[in-house]
Amino acid sequence: MDIHEYQAKEVLSNFGVGTAPGALAYSPEQAAYRGRELGGEKWVVKAQVHAGGRGKAGGVKICESEHDIQAACEDMFGRKLVTHQTGPEGKGIYRVYVEAAVPIEREIYLGLVLDRTSQRVMIVASSEGGMEIEEISAERPDSIVRSNVEPAVGLQDFQAREIAFKLGLEAALIPQMVRTLKGCYRAFRDLDATMVEVNPLVVTSDNRILALDAKMTFDDNALFRHPQISELRDKSQEDPRESRAADRGLSYVGLDGNIGCIVNGAGLAMATMDTIKLAGGEPANFLDIGGGATPERVVKAFRLVMSDDKVQAVLVNIFAGINRCDWVAEGVVQALREVQPDLPVIVRLAGTNVEEGQKILAKSGLPIIRAGTLTEAAERAVGAWQNDLTQATRMRAVT
Ligand code: ADP
Ligand code: MG
């Protein structure tokens, strides 16, 4: 789960990381008022969306009066911000953060990620802040400092000092930098984050080290341990299909193709998507109904897949171990009766209670295409979808 910049800043500041004074607003008027409350002469208005690259896309504006703040916000609110991280559809701006503008002396890049090779948290830093890490690694790879943290003892002072020295910070700033690095690491560890990125971390002209931007991503499977973090979820920033699925306890990933996939288990989902591609099609999603799925759960999965306009055929592929093919079949039949979709549905069942499952499908009298193997299922799904396409093309040619 991602959170907003202002939320990440609040989280990090609770761990001793320095930030500039700022306040959140839900309307241009409120933003102008927040500016007045904060005082000072210069502010930065920052669109709160779950994506980086806002500066270049018009989502970060420097303002020199309350009037400026209001005008900048009127430009932002309700609009979709498209950055290189959002995809072409962009992300809606419903909140802005008004922050005191600070005099920047230096910009540093700081990131904490899970390094799967070493199975450690890795601290990545660079003296070339402000640029995206991808750009830094392409243009100034020599400026990148990496350091793995030993989990048993956590980030040690000497290690943090070493990073600070490598970044070329002057001696007087080292203790502040050590505090910042340790604060970010503790936030990462204590809150089960998978990513913390502060870009830029700045040194101000009055020698303060501040996180001027902050991004945090958390491990969804650990959110139950951190209700205060779960509360920060902002559904307006998520793919609506994915948040609807999460609310129903289903694991769903939206993709760009047109064959909807209902499967059990992530491994089988991968195999199903590969086989669809091999057969010449493109999956529209990855939907995992999990183990022991009841007919009701299968109905929910169906509704979710059908609600995506892009879906032109549905492939149900179940290899039942803990699951029961008869339950899945009941769910499929019930869903088709309720939703009455106007698209081909292909079902491949294997494993526990497969005969009962097949009987339920056969007896239903519904136009379900049954397949014996995964390859056959994928070919039939792709075939049915292509057939649909040629029909549609033909109809378009006639009209
Ligand atoms: P993004 O990474 O999404 O583009 P940032 O928060 O990093 O957004 O802001 C972009 C740039 O704007 C920063 O690199 C920094 O130079 C400048 N900036 C951001 N916040 C402030 C601030 N409070 N004071 C001065 N400059 C700022
Ligand atoms: Mg940034």
Spatial separation of the C-alpha atoms in residues 242 and 378, rounded to whole Å? 24
Q: Is the pLDDT of residue 393 over 80?
A: no
DSSP characters over 36-68: HHH-SS-EEEEE--S-S-TGGGT-EEEESSHHH
User: Sorting pLDDT into bands at 50, 70 and 90, what band is 398?
Assistant: very low
| Binding site membership of 55 for ligand 1 (Cβ less than 6 Å) | yes
Q: Is the pLDDT of residue 390 over 90?
A: no
pLDDT digits (tens, 9 = 90+) for 173-197: 999 999 999 999 999 999 999 999 9
Which protein residue has the closest C-alpha to ligand 1 atom 20?
Answer: 212
Q: Is 109 a catalytic residue?
A: yes
Query: What pTM was computed for the model?
Result: 0.79
Walk me through the domains of the chain, giving residue ranges and CATH numbers: 1-19+103-237 (3.30.470.20), 21-101 (3.30.1490.20), 240-387 (3.40.50.261)
pLDDT for position 392: 43
Least confident of 3-17, 183-197, 206-220, 297-311: 297-311
Q: Residue 13, Cβ neighbours under 10 Å: how many?
A: 16
Which protein residue has the closest C-alpha to ligand 1 atom 12?
Answer: 55
Mean pLDDT across 85-105: 94
pLDDT digits (tens, 9 = 90+) for 324-374: 999 999 999 999 999 888 899 999 999 999 999 999 999 999 999 999 999
pLDDT for position 138: 92
pLDDT, averaged across the chain: 92
Distance 130 CA to ligand 2 centre (A): 6
pLDDT for position 308: 85
Beta-bridged to residue 47, according to DSSP, are 96
Beta-bridged to residue 211, according to DSSP, are 19, 201
Spatial separation of the C-alpha atoms in residues 111 and 139, rounded to whole Å? 17
Spatial separation of the C-alpha atoms in residues 320 and 317, rounded to whole Å? 9
| Binding site membership of 200 for ligand 1 (Cβ less than 6 Å) | yes
| Binding site membership of 197 for ligand 1 (Cβ less than 6 Å) | no
pLDDT for position 130: 82
pLDDT for position 397: 36
Spatial separation of the C-alpha atoms in residues 263 and 279, rounded to whole Å? 18
Closest CA to 159 of 185, 198, 135, 137: 185
pLDDT digits (tens, 9 = 90+) for 11-61: 999 999 999 999 999 999 999 999 999 999 999 999 999 999 999 999 999
| Binding site membership of 177 for ligand 1 (Cβ less than 6 Å) | no
pLDDT for position 118: 93
Identify which of 13, 50, 60 to mutate to test ligand 1's pocket (most ligand atoms within 8 A of the CB).
60
Q: Which tokens sit at 212?
A: 């001027």
User: Sorting pLDDT into bands at 50, 70 and 90, what band is 82?
Assistant: very high
CB 187 within 8 A of CB 216: yes
pLDDT for position 389: 54
The DSSP bridge pattern shows strands 285-288 and 345-351 to be unpaired
Closest CA to 200 of 141, 103, 128, 148: 128
The DSSP bridge pattern shows strands 345-351 and 313-320 to be parallel
Length of the chain as a residue count = 399
Kind and range of the H or E element at 193?
Answer: strand 193-204
Q: Which tokens sit at 344?
A: 């081909």
Q: Is the pLDDT of residue 307 over 60?
A: yes
| Binding site membership of 330 for ligand 1 (Cβ less than 6 Å) | no
Q: E-strand spans in 270-331? A: 285-288, 313-320
Name the residue with higher pLDDT: 185 or 89: 185
pLDDT for position 399: 31
